[in-house]
Structure 1
Amino acid sequence: MSEVTEGIITQSSAVRFRQAALGDLDYIVETEHAEENAKYVIPWPREEHAKLLNTDNTKHFIVETADGGKNAGFVIVSGLKNPFQEIEFLRIIMAEKGRGYGRQTVRLLQSWAFKELGAHRAWLDVKDYNDRARYLYKSEGFVEEGHIRECIKNGDSYESLIILGILEHEYFALNK
């Protein structure tokens, strides 16, 4: 990675999103399956990521530091063809934690979704015990919309999801 700007989708002063390619799949799978991340998502096999890598409706982006010097994580965005202008932040997974990249990524995702794509609503789900992520999303304007109880089987137990969303007018009211 260097100062190359090819494939850059959007950027802020802290991070930028680069269109993921087949060559990024090892990084994506490794980051998602890392112990500190895997417990908060349902990790996909490489084939699932490859199938959805860059379709009309779903995109994978590598989150890089703004100078392109280092990968900080990846995101998957879905709903790009949704006729109701609803975007899902399917994955927000940071390899670099505690450096503010997650917050900057959420802000950049929101800006891109509402300002560039013209989304009406953006949403995501989070496991109910992922307090760090829930706090971050709520501090960036997401509202808890629902609790899907025991919908994921993990070993011998079930886990629950919290649905969080933000509407276009809520985003713009917070970002005047």
Structure 2
Amino acid sequence: MQPAAPVRTPRAPARARLRPTMQSDLDFVLSLERDPDNLPFITPWERTQHEAAIRFPDFRHFVIEAGDDLAAAGFLILIGCRSPHQSLELKRMVVQRKGQGFGRAALRVAKKVAFDDLGAHRFWLDVRTRNTRARGLYESEGFALEGTLREAVRGPGGFESLAVLSMLQAEFETRRQGALELVR
């Protein structure tokens, strides 16, 4: 007789919230960008670029606070917050501790901010095609592939392609009605 497989209890969804980034947070933000686990997937910014993103009204720069203690767990940047086309970009999302559900929880909050608070019609992003973990997250959270920007960025190993994904406001509402998104 085979031993019974261990019973896996489902993990409670991670808890996350976004708070505006302050100047005093930038050392944390820069340390995440320079982390060797993150560098292959992003193009780090200079401190002055982050400072500008904190101040410029078309941007929203957030620290992700997550977990039971809501400690700083990452950051994300939205661009196009004042776009007359209502097309908002998730420019960057970096989470410190991977595999804990913090990225998924933060992305759900970001979608709610994009559609409910900022009135986006379209919420989009690009991701390096070899960043399969992030792309899997975005697709599982309802983002649809629009296309590929071939060899659009230079990485450590040469030129890399970017996958462009998006979600429309109507798709977000359909997901919300199916209890796949945060409520208003």
Same fold flag (TM > 0.5): yes
Instruction: Show the counterpart of 1:106.
Output: 107
Instruction: Show the counterpart of 1:20.
Output: 21
Task: Give ranges in structure 2 of 5+ residues lacking alignment.
Answer: 1-12, 178-184
Instruction: Show the counterpart of 1:175.
Output: 176
1:116 offset after TM fit, Å? Answer: 1.9
Distance 1:42 1:160, change over 3 A: same
Q: Deviations over 1:58-79 (max 9, x none)?
A: 1210000266541110000110
Task: Give ranges in structure 1 of 5+ residues lacking alignment.
Answer: 1-11
Q: Could you tell me the TM-score, scaled by structure 1's length?
A: 0.89
Contact 2:40 2:155 in 1 (8 A): no
Contact 1:146 1:164 in 2 (8 A): yes
Q: Deviations over 1:9-59 (max 9, x none)?
A: xxx971111110111110000011101111101111212111222311012
Indicate yes or no: 2:132 matched with 1:92.
no
Instruction: Show the counterpart of 2:81.
Output: 80
Distance (Å, rounded) in 1 between the aligned partners of 2:97 and 2:14: 17
Query: Helix, strand or coil: the match of 1:113?
Result: helix
Instruction: Show the counterpart of 1:9.
Output: none
1:107 offset after TM fit, Å? Answer: 0.8
Q: How does 1:40-55 map to 2 (within 5 A)?
A: 40-55=41-56
Distance 1:21 1:156, change over 3 A: same
1:156 offset after TM fit, Å? Answer: 5.9
Q: Could you say which structure has the larger radius of gyration?
A: 2
Aligned residues: 165
Distance (Å, rounded) in 1 between the aligned partners of 2:56 and 2:68: 27
Q: Could you tell me the TM-score, scaled by structure 2's length?
A: 0.85
Query: Helix, strand or coil: the match of 1:36?
Result: coil
